[in-house]
Amino acid sequence: MDAKAADLESNPIDIDGPPPKSTDVDGDSPEGAWEDQEEDVFGMDERLDALDRAGESFHWMKERRFERMFREIEGKLSGVLGKGGYDWVDRRVFDQVFDQSTLMAVYKLMNQGHIDTLDWPIARGKEAHVFHATAPSGSVAVKIFHTSNAVFKGLLQYIDGDPRFGGLRRRHRELVNVWVRKENRNLLRMRKNGVRVPEPLALFRNVLIMDYLGDENGPSPRLKDLKVENAEEVYQSLLEQLKLIWQKSRLAHADFSEYNVLIHEGEPWIIDAGQAVDVAHPSSKEYLVRDVTRLVQWAKRNGVEVEVADAMLEVLGE
């Protein structure tokens, strides 16, 4: 058993607390104002107008206390403000990811020494963006969950029915924060039981800091993007991981696929554990069958002769 993970399971670093008294800027995301514009000279006026409207959503930055806060950390965010070598991190990403609450969460994590700088993007998805960050201990990954209302409506199925999160109120902000805590707890439980997943290090609101899987050249590649020579070995390793998740961790991953597996230092690592549910969840076995089926499908595409029924028997231990 990973002693450090066991200690974190009992005493996870959680610096969450009551939100500061501030204006709520939740609402329709401004990003859509320009995404559908034609990329030609005739759309210039419309794009400029859209940028002006988007800027109005961030008027709070001009308030004295927020202006000072942003000035203190602006240099530390240069890698995610489009000022570095990663062109896709532009104003659209900033508007989508770094709303008032998120910036204040990042500010607090920086002040408490969990991270020094946000450097460059690792991945982006509909629920979250992941960034490489530098911490006093070295490289870490910072996962910032989106706070738009539309994102989490489809994720309630992974919360409702999980006995660990009973009595949850349906306010959107609370759902986002619960989702982050849920991923943190799932990762800790999996690590404690020998599953290769990133170790969570700290969290606050919609920001989760965890181990970085990669090197100075970039993140470790996804299984989806590799042509593996040892498909049988990778299959057996991942089947064992699903078995540990179900039998030892008492969870179903619920979103397993080659997109959520990284090959790091020669071994497959599983990521994105927010949707994982306790075995007591009414749909846990359905999710388990889906996970195993996806693994078998990948194996067959890579020349491994295996059937879902046999894989299920091994994962269930029957």
DSSP string, 149-185: HHHHGGGGGGTTT-GGGTT----HHHHHHHHHHHHHH
Q: Which residues contact 110 (CB under 8 A, 6 or more apart)?
A: 73, 76, 116
Q: How far apart are the C-alpha atoms of 56 and 50, rounded to whole Å?
A: 10
Tell me the C-alpha distance between 117 and 135, whole Å: 7
pLDDT at 115 over 90: yes
Identify which has the larger pLDDT, 148 or 56: 148
Q: What value does the mean pLDDT take over residues 142-158? A: 67
Q: What is the pLDDT of residue 76?
A: 80
Give 231-289 pLDDT, tens digit per residue. 999 999 999 999 999 999 999 999 999 999 999 999 999 999 999 999 999 999 999 99
Q: Which residues are catalytic?
A: 255, 272
Identify the CATH number of the domain defined by range 3-26+58-216: 3.30.200.20
Residues 6+ apart with CB under 8 A from 209: 109, 114, 115, 133, 135, 140, 141, 142, 143, 200, 201, 202, 203
Average pLDDT, rounded, for the chain: 77
User: Residue 8 has what pLDDT?
Assistant: 45
Q: Which two tokens stand for residue 210?
A: 């965890």
Q: CA 313, CA 299: separation in Å to the nearest integer?
A: 17
* Residue ranges covered by each domain of the chain: 3-26+58-216, 220-316
**Residue range 220-316 in CATH 3.90.1150.10:** no
Whether residue 2 has pLDDT greater than 80: no
Distance of alpha carbon 29 from the chain centroid: 20
Give pLDDT tens digits for 180-239: 999 999 999 999 999 999 999 999 999 999 999 999 889 999 999 999 999 999 999 999
Domain 3-26+58-216 identical in fold to domain 220-316: no
Of residues 76 and 182, which shows the higher confidence score? 182
Question: Is residue 99 within a helix (H) or strand (E), and if so which, with residue range?
Answer: none
The rounded percent of the chain whose pLDDT value lies above 70 is 63
Strand partners, 207: 144, 204
What pLDDT was estimated at residue 65? 62
